[in-house]
A and B are shown apart, each in its own frame.
Chain A
Amino acid sequence: SAVISQKPSRDICQRGTSLTIQCQVDSQVTMMFWYRQQPGQSLTLIATANQGSEATYESGFVIDKFPISRPNLTFSTLTVSNMSPEDSSIYLCSVEAQAVNTEAFFGQGTRLTVV
C-alpha cells in the first residue's frame, strides 16, 4: 500500500489569490492524479501527472488555472490559480497501486473554501 501525505488539509482563501497543494508519497510511483470533489458530488479527475513530462488535463481543466508540478517520483503539487468561490471543493491527490488489482490510494484531501 501507499501512504500519501497531502497538505494543507484545509484553507480559507480570498478570491483572486492562488493556493498550492502538496502531495508526498512514501514510495516511488509513476503516475499521480489530482481530483476535485465539489460539494455533494463525486470525484472528477483534473489531471494526470507523470514525472518528467507535462501533466495531462481532462476536458474542462486547463494548465493556466491548475498548474501542476511533478519534480520527482514521490512528490507533486497542484496550484489553484486566481480562485473564485466556484473553486471551493475538496482536492484529492491519488496514486495507483503497483499491484495487480490497480487499487487507487488517496491523500486525505484539501478542503478549500474561497470567500
Chain B
Amino acid sequence: GDSVTQMEGPVTLSEEAFLTINCTYTATGYPSLFWYVQYPGEGLQLLLKATKADDKGSNKGFEATYRKETTSFHLEKGSVQVSDSAVYFCALSFREYGNKLVFGAGTILRVKS
C-alpha cells in the first residue's frame, strides 16, 4: 500500500542553522504531497503542499519540491528559529481515494538558542 518514510528524529539544531528533513514515498500513481507541523499540545497545521511533479511548495521560509524521479519531498529551511521547534509530518493523498491523508511517522525538530 501507499506509505511515507521520514528521517528519524529528533533533529537538534542551533538557531540560524540550515534544516533538511527527508521524506520519501511509495505510491501507485502520483499523489499530492504535504508537510504538516504540530506544535506541542496542538493539532496539525498545513505548512506547505505540492500537487504535481516539480511543484515547489513554500511557506514561512520552508520549501519542498515534488521530485517524481526520486519519489521525494524533502523539507528545507535556510535559517531555523527556536519557534520552529515542533513535530513535522510528511503526508500524501490521492483525490481519487477520498482525499485521505497517509502520514509519515513524524520528525521532532528542536532548535536551541
A and B: interacting chains: no
B residues at A contact (CB < 8 Å)? none
